[in-house]
Structure 1
Amino acid sequence: MVELLDLDLGRHSRRLHVDTLVRLRWLALFGQTAALLFTYFVLGFSLPLGLCLMVIAMSAALNIGLRITYGRVDQLNELPAAAVLAFDIIQLTALLYLTGGIENPFSMLFLAPIMISAVSLGGWITLSLTALMIAAASLLTVAHHPLPWFAGQTLELPLIYAAGLWTAHVVSASFIAIYLWLVALEARKLAEALTATELVLAREQHLTQLDGLAAAAAHELGTPLATVTLVVRDLEKQIPATDPLAEDVALLAQQVARCRNILGKLTSLGGDAGDILDEMTLSLMIEEVVGPQRDFGVKITIVENGEGRQPVARRNPGILYGLGNLIENAIDFAASEVRIAACWNASSVKLVIEDDGPGFSPDVIGRIGAPYVTTKTHRRAKSEDGAGLGLGLFIAKTLLERSGAFVATANVSPPKSGARITIVWQRAVFERGAAIQKPAALTVES
């Protein structure tokens, strides 16, 4: 899991595509230019048109520079993107300063850079840009050119009305920044967690493919080993038993036979009908995921209780990884024991994993299985840097649900304490991969 976290999956999700930013800025510049020309030539309002067009030209020059410097598929890091958005706020401030300040209806465009930052950039950058926008709005409230109006007339709004506009801008910017940043943060976390899940599946798939590679290697090595075997047999016939080299040749023959046995086993991996590799009973599946977890000082108790023959499932790396991760988390929190109860009947297969630790805390129990939800302060099974970031349970739950399981989390009922995770499959889904439906409940005897 640490290998996945070390990739810093969120780093690239907080970059802004240059092409997207340039297109948005051209749209804003065309809108500003059209509004100015319409106000000056159609409405006949008085305004410093030359200065206003100069301010717009400066922003257009920056757009041209971005297009020349970067390709269409390039992305801006957070700081350069923040600098461009800060320039847009300053440019809009200068334009509004010349055309009525905060009283100009187009002052609402202050919200555009804040929304872009909240969706695409980090929280501190969005906070800084919001503070810059508030400072600019404050300046425009008290200092600005008159609002464009008919020639020979001046439109002056009361200061209290301007203060109300300032308040509306500040509240709107703050709310939009917080809301969009939280929504974008959840979307980024989910995307990063899903990426990590795909990496886990790819890794498990590579491990599964090693069986086929081993079989192929065994076939390739078979011919040269057969040649070595013939040479050793000829040497055994030619060298007398009393010769000092006879003992070495005998040892060589023994090792050649051992190599042939090993290659025979490897060859059977690829030529086997699949029962050994592709199918496993429920008991074997549990033992395979529990085996590596028995050396962490926690007792692991397995109870099996079922009706009829034991379910036999196809080997699924996703199920093995998911169950292993859940058991590992139970060991992390257990005081002394982890209990695994397995039961089955003609329609359902159920696993219950319990520990005797403190259980899920009230603030996270409703969000268990969501990405980056964790309360870990230490880990028995993992001590590497980056462990315990909350992706493990998300990936485990996602993989198990993809296999057709229904996963539920709860705390053990008092007076006992601990966490309980219940995984239920329809037996047809577990054994043959039939249509996935929510399984019926199945009682597990304590």
Structure 2
Amino acid sequence: MSGQLLSIAKLPSFLAAARAGQAAGHQNMQQLIQLRWIAVAGQITTILVVAWGIGIKLPLVYMLEVLACLIAFNVASQLRWHEKWAVSNGELFLAILVDVASLTAQLYLSGGTSNPFVYLYLLQVILSAVLLEAWSTWTIVAIASACLAGLSVWSKPIALPLFHERGYFSLYIQGMLICFALNAALLVVFITRIMSNLRAGDAMLASMRQRAAEEEHIVRMGLLASGAAHELGTPLATLSVILGDWRRMPEFSKNPELLEEIGEMQAQLARCKSIVSGILLSAGEARGESSARTTINTFLDELVQEWCASRPVASFDYRNTIEDMPVVFDTAFKQMICNVLDNALEASPEWVRLEARCEDGAIKLLVSDSGPGFAPDILEQFGKPYNSSKGKPGRGLGLFLTVNVARTLGGTVEAGNRPEGGAAVLLSLPLTAIAVEEE
């Protein structure tokens, strides 16, 4: 059962990690589409300059047909990848393969290996090495090599003016220089973008792994707390019976002071049983009894009343400006708020404030105190387990659980220090997470 719970806890993070990988693949496909548009513009410019500027005869009809096919493929790619996000290695491989085929066709029609732009094959090979799996990259290398070898055998060279001139006056040398500059510029721009996409994807995956580890930690604590709650149930029930028997015994019933102490013990025992029941409910047991339908103001008013009655707070400032609405909450949501209030009380026993308001479709709960505030290193690691300024083992789990409960409900927890002194923690929870539509 514990293994199943751990697997369920990891599932949202694994799905988010998969989405991160899909986003990186989609961005890389967009880079290939942009590069293809640059290739189209470059081919049009080159054909115009060579055919009409230099006066070299080219099979323009066939070259324009190849160019039209490349444009049609890129338009189709743009439309497809605008809607679809998941990009596989095979789809990236096909896209680069089309680019290699288009380049081969244009080179075949414009001089083959005597064309200085034959070195653009290197651009496709390098992009495949960055974007594709190993087998796909080696396949592109083999295909590009075969295409180059085929061009050297079957293509017809084009007579270039000043072909045999040396130095910069040779059109072939000029074409090679342009090809080198173009290759270098495109590689710098697009490899930089692609690596940025990959780094962003890796960072997101690392964040998702950290989140999965935290959620696994929570599940383990929930299992431990659930087991401890079960174990405590029997001794608490025994104590309840003993105290009930004591209250009926003549030695105690005739002594008002002892009866008062027994009553106080029973009240504290009832609170312990309530805490144990809350642990079991939060751990997922008797879940049907955990959720309760009420209104937001009733829930907050009862929570504040119960919290103040059981905590030694000197001054509690409660302000609620939320327009009342029906909601559903469970003990995890209640415990999340109490954790923040307890931390504020521990730092500032003389004054704690709770402000409740509704903004931008979310409930905002701001808990403030007049204590020393958060240290900078605590704020940097806010929400991490065992991140506490108290310096005691096992501390710092309250806010860790609060952050993760809020995140599970689609909300956020922010912490900071007040300008006038003290700490402030803002709980934000979307109304959709707890609101109930009236029938």
Question: Higher helix share goes to which structure?
Answer: 2
Q: TM-score, normalised by structure 1?
A: 0.40
Return the TM-score normalized by structure 2: 0.41
